[in-house]
Amino acid sequence: MENKEDDTMYTPRFTVGNIPKKVRLGDITVRDGFQHEEFYVHPDAKIWCIEQALKCGFKDIEITNFGNPRIIPQFGDCWEITERACRLREKYNVEAEYTAIAIAKDRTYPVIEAKKAGKPVPDRLLIMVSTSEAHQRTNSGLSHREYLANSEVVTRDLREAGFKVCGAVSTIWGCPVTQSATDLDWAVDLTEIFFRMGVSDIEHADHDGQANPVAVYDYFARIMDRFPNPDLHVAHFHVTRGWGLTNVYAAMQAGITRIEATFGGIGGQPANFVDGRPVKGTGKYYYTNPDAVGLVTMEDLLVMLNGMGVEHGIDMELAFEYGHMVEKICKRSLRSSALHFGDLPKYGEIKTTRNYKVEEWRERFPQPRYTVPGVPENVW
């Protein structure tokens, strides 16, 4: 039989779960990705990544951390990066929201003063609380009560100065310090506390890959029941145990449409060893192999969304170029499968080539040669 391509589009008869038709992706490579690297990433490399993110079409980009440079030396260039990133946004005349981290109270007020002085500043500042008291003390040196009291004041002052404030709720599905599970209702309560303080939105974070898809769906179902606007919520997953994209899918089924990721899947706990010297970071690593951890890989996420027919608004060719450059910056092959195996056609738009028809086999075998257990005879 002559080979002939069937041009008929395949239309799916069903969809799996409650998958949104469109998502909003945040690129956090420069901040959360590079914070885990054990060498100082040159400012020019960071700026190249921010510029490429703008070209790709990302509207949410994390650019730096205003933390103490003695603790996290990777971001000793935070003011330079902020100024150069803001100039880039003006150059391309695009609407993109820049976020920076300022967990400690004393690191926040210089940003407010810079804004008052007319200097370039981010649009959105992120403050973070952990569900785990042990992790909260490791990260901030404060108890929950102390940190939330500080956050109330900081959030008020930031909002009055014209900033958006993201309240990150971390270690939702498990504490990397104690390796113990946490209470999902407590994480929902922390979300409510942050909203009552006046935050603009919430980043819901799996800090080191302990979440599983059932627990993710359970949690975000609770969140969407209480606070049903999907624009208020950002999903943030690590892939330490390999479940990152599965957890993204579970979050989407619960109605989440904002997702963060890094190119190459880099990132994790702030490095405690940079350019051949020990630094404080956030203390001892939670794991034995610092190269084995990371976040959801942006390239793989983009290909998965494409295959599912979910709109994301990102230029795939430029995104793959971005991913290859991050590998060069990090001087090693990273965890992206899509980067090396390419994109895939969208589900529902797959064309197949047939060189025979099933009718031929129906004529040869009006009944199966052997009984097919559990299949009614009228099927044949």
- In whole angstroms, give the CA distance from residue 257 to residue 312: 10
- In whole angstroms, give the CA distance from residue 260 to residue 296: 8
8 A C-beta contact, residue 35 and residue 100: no
Kindly state the average pLDDT of the residues 273-298: 90
| Paired sense of beta strands 273-274 and 277-278, if any | antiparallel
8 A C-beta contact, residue 261 and residue 298: yes
- In whole angstroms, give the CA distance from residue 189 to residue 31: 27
Neighbours of 6 (CB within 10 A): 10
pLDDT at 77: 98
Q: Which residue has the tokens 């922390």?
A: 190
Examine the pLDDT at 1 and tell me if it is beyond 50. no
The answer to which of 13-22, 118-127, 175-184, 251-260 has the lowest mean pLDDT is 13-22
What's the pTM? 0.91
pLDDT at 2: 40
Size (the chain), residues: 380
With H, G, I as helix, E, B as strand and everything else as coil, classify residue 298.
helix
Residue 208 CB burial class (10 angstroms; 0-12, 13-18, ≥19):
buried
Kindly state the average pLDDT of the residues 42-65: 98
pLDDT bucket at 10, cuts 50 / 70 / 90: very low
Kindly state the average pLDDT of the residues 156-177: 94
- In whole angstroms, give the CA distance from residue 107 to residue 290: 27
Most confident of 45-49, 135-139, 335-339: 45-49
Q: How far is CA 47 from the centre of its chain?
A: 20
pLDDT higher for 356 or 163?
163
pLDDT at 110: 95
Kindly state the average pLDDT of the residues 57-64: 98
List phi, psi (to 5°) of 302: -60, -45
Could you tell me what percent of the chain has a pLDDT over 90? 71
List phi, psi (to 5°) of 3: -70, 130
Domains of the chain listed by start with CATH number: 24-335 (3.20.20.70)
pLDDT bucket at 290, cuts 50 / 70 / 90: confident
